[in-house]
Amino acid sequence: MKQYPASAIHNVVVAGHSGVGKTTLVSALLHEAGAVNRFGRVDDGSAPTDFDPEEVERKISIGLAVAALEWRKHKVNLVDTPGYGIFVSEMISGMRAADSVLLVVDAVAGVQVQTEKAWALADEYRLPRMVVVNRMDRENADGARVLEQLQKKFGRSCICVEAPIGREKGFRGVIDLIGMKGYLTDDTGKTAEGPIPEEFQAEASTLHEQLVEMVAEGDDALMETFFGQGSLSEEQMLPALRRAIHDRRIVPVLFSACGAHETGAEKLLDEIVDLLPAADASQAVATNRDGKMETLTADPAGPTVAFVFKTVSDPFTGRLTFFRVLSGTVKADGSYLNTRRDTVERFGPVFSPLGKQTTTVPEVPAGDIGVVAKLKETLTSDTLCGKEQPVTVDPISFPEPAISFAIEPKSKGDEDKISTGLAKLIEEDPSLKFHRDLDSSELLLSGAGQLHVEIAVARMKRKSNVEVILHQPKVPYRETITRAAEAHGRHKKQTGGHGQFADCKIRVKPLPRGADFEFVDNIFGGSIPRNFIPAVEKGIQDARKRGYLAGYPMVDFQVELYDGQYHDVDSSEMAFKIAGSLAYKEAMEKARPTILEPIMKVEVRAPQEFMGDIMGDLTSRRGRPSGMDQVGDDAIVKAEVPLSEMLSYAAILRSLTQGRASFSMELGHYEELPRQLQEKLIAERAKTVKSATAEE
């Protein structure tokens, strides 16, 4: 593939809801441009941008993929992204690599939840966008209805630059409303330019006038010409339309049916090249070593700066690093400084990507996307640059995980392999997180949803040969006391020779929530030697971590050691440690212990129409709503809900809201668990202890 200047490179992220035909559309565009020899399909695993075994098996996109094509002496890098909400981090990564968004909408389903999410992300990253209403040949497809939905949801900036010729099975092509020409696709998939069919001329004229008015609105000189002539020529409209799209005042709407006959593919490629901004129109901001901001332009002769937006761990070729060159030129076999990790990476060959295939290139110029293999330390969000002018680009901000699962190895010999396998997963998908829970000692893997975690585990099995079992994580309950008490711990044992003797007296009292544990040494007069007092505390500490009622750590209480006895010969640290634990147990019998549960601060965002169901569901989970805010058409409800009631909430919320809601939660505080639920936990603990004793 030849090298192109930034003015002839278009980086386009393809986004939208799941099942709208994004990957098939990308396949059609690649085939139409001659980048691939055959039309790839999702259902048989031949799609160029769905090549991961999990994608082929499940027939859904899971990770982003980049595929380059050449069209009319321009290079177009298509960044195909998943449409499932749980993989939104891939869409975010794609946005960071792109200059514009191709938003794909289904001609039957219209605007869906991920359509809205992709639109919001395009707003956040200030990216121009183009909408293609796809699968116009489906039964019940209705382009006019979808256009009305788009305008109602996103405003009148959504305007047709094409009109469909026919609908459902009769969809035969499109009308170019800029040049007022027809483009008909025959049964062989060939598209021919011609006059507008007579039955569509009236509608095309009306839509053309609307487009001309919209374009002229943003340009005073053009508005005068429009009023003077009554219309605008194609030569007058095109530059103004490009500017309006670049400034995000206009979102052009197109139509296609890129399936068997690729209807609309050729015209869509033309519009991408003619209307969407090239890489030279975008700028990036970086921070230098002095903390000052620098603006980067797509100048191939400028300082070399590349941003890593995706990392793939391939079992055959090793780590693949996808980068967008923001400035300068990245050359094969060059050395570049990773400023986030302060290490120098030595490059081997560099490539232009076409899905899982790559083409070797001598260099990747400013504005283009490239791939390099086997970098040692570089990961997603890192900045690579020349050593002479080091700068750092802000990392990608990924959403926090919504759900966690405890994992354990299926085979006992695989414990050591899990951490390595999980680390490779997170290299590919930074929205995954894992850590060991200090309370339960469980290894927790967190993701955006259950399917997200399940796919991650399946990938780990395939790539690292490690199988794990998923469990719901344990709820980190706590125990505490509700009143003050005194206790006496005495350990005396005579076995011939030296015996064991220790005696201690303690007072316990409750502390405020969150105070954890406090030990007070109040020994006077040498009733217990100073060197044995830490042993008393150690005995109590060990005992409190095992709990008293149901095996959960005892917290939020104070222990005061105020008296005791010792023996010159028989006392020892071990004896006082045992005496401390005995005093703790006696104190718990008198101090009315209780069980505490974690209460989470929960925020749920959803369209207003679902708020009734959401509030009712939260209440059924012992939740206490604490407020509601309005954000556009959405509402955000805040509530305090026990963690034990939130373990399966992601799936329930998706069901309640047709997948159009999101939620976040963080630990708020601990409070007393209702008595009937305490009794259940205590009974379960007793059953577990009895079973363990029987096995011994």
Asked whether residue 398 is domain-assigned, the answer is: no
Q: Which residues pair with 253 in a beta bridge?
A: 131, 160
| Residue 223 sits in the same domain as residue 87 | yes
Are 388 and 339 spatial neighbours (Cβ–Cβ below 8 Å)? no
Any bridge partners for residue 288, and if so which? 391
Say which DSSP state 184 is in.
Answer: E
Q: Do 372 and 303 belong together in one domain? A: yes
So what's the pLDDT on residue 142?
94
**What confidence score (pLDDT) does residue 619 get?**
95
Q: How far is CA 517 from the centre of its chain?
A: 37
Give yes or no for a contact between 522 and 560, defined as CB atoms under 8 angstroms apart.
Answer: yes
Say whether pLDDT at 594 is over 80.
yes
Q: Which residues pair with 344 in a beta bridge?
A: 337
402-452 residue pLDDT tens? 677 889 888 877 777 888 888 888 999 999 998 887 666 788 898 887 788
* pLDDT score for 559: 97
Residue 439: what pLDDT?
60
Mean pLDDT of the region 155-183: 94
Q: Which residue has the higher pLDDT, 490 or 412?
A: 490
Q: Which of 19-23, 272-276, 662-666 has the lowest mean pLDDT?
A: 662-666
What CATH number is given to the structural domain containing 616? Answer: 3.30.70.240
CATH code assigned at 43:
3.40.50.300
Q: Are 476 and 589 in contact (CB under 8 A)?
A: no
Residue 473 lies in a domain: no
Q: Residue 147: which residues within 8 A CB-CB, separation 6 or more?
A: 133, 158, 160, 253
If asked whether residues 602 and 654 sit together in one domain, one would say: yes
**Together in a domain, 199 and 92:** yes
444 shares its domain with 509: no
Domain boundary among 239, 257, 281: 281
What six digits make up the tokens of 354?
């076409």
Among 252, 281, 310, which residue terminates a domain? 281
Q: Which residue range forms the structural domain that includes residue 107?
A: 6-281
Answer yes or no: do 158 and 19 share one domain: yes
Residue 448 belongs to a domain with what CATH number?
3.30.70.870
Could you tell me the two tokens for 506?
A: 């303690």
Phi-psi region of 166 (alpha: psi -120 to 50; beta: other; left: phi over 0): left
Q: Mean pLDDT over all residues of the chain? A: 91
Kindly state the average pLDDT of the residues 163-186: 93
CATH of residue 578's domain is 3.30.230.10
The answer to whether position 470 is within a domain reads: no
204 with 275, same domain: the answer is: yes
574 and 519 co-located in one domain:
yes
Same domain assignment for residues 489 and 340: no
Q: Return the axis-axis angle of helices 234-246 and 201-217, rounded to nearest 10°.
A: 60
Mean pLDDT computed over 56-67: 91
* CA pair distance 96, 80, nearest whole angstrom: 13
> In this structure, is residue 469 part of a structural domain?
no
User: 341: domain CATH number?
Assistant: 2.40.30.10
Instruction: Check residue 305 and give its pLDDT.
Output: 98
Token pair of 92 as six digits = 């975010």
Mean pLDDT of 118-145: 95
- Cα(294)–Cα(391) distance, integer angstroms: 8
CB 442 within 8 A of CB 473: yes
Cβ atoms of 550 and 556 within 8 Å: the answer is no
Radius of gyration of the chain (CA): 33
Alpha carbon separation from 456 to 54, 422, 425, 460, 663 (Å, rounded): 10, 9, 7, 6, 21
pLDDT of residue 691: 73
The region that residue 126 occupies, defined by phi over 0 for left and psi between -120 and 50 for alpha, beta otherwise, is left
Q: Are residues 229 and 326 in the same domain?
A: no
Q: Which residues contact 501 (CB under 8 A, 6 or more apart)?
A: 491, 492, 493, 565, 566, 567, 570, 571, 575
Q: In whole angstroms, what is the distance from residue 559 CA to residue 508 CA?
A: 5
Within this chain, do residues 498 and 361 fall inside the same structural domain, yes or no?
A: no
What confidence category does residue 476 fall into, taking pLDDT thresholds of 50, 70 and 90? confident
Domain boundary pick from 245, 260, 281: 281
Count structural domains, the chain.
5
Same domain, residue pair 150 and 105? yes
Average pLDDT of span 201-213: 93
Does residue 571 lie within any of the structural domains? yes
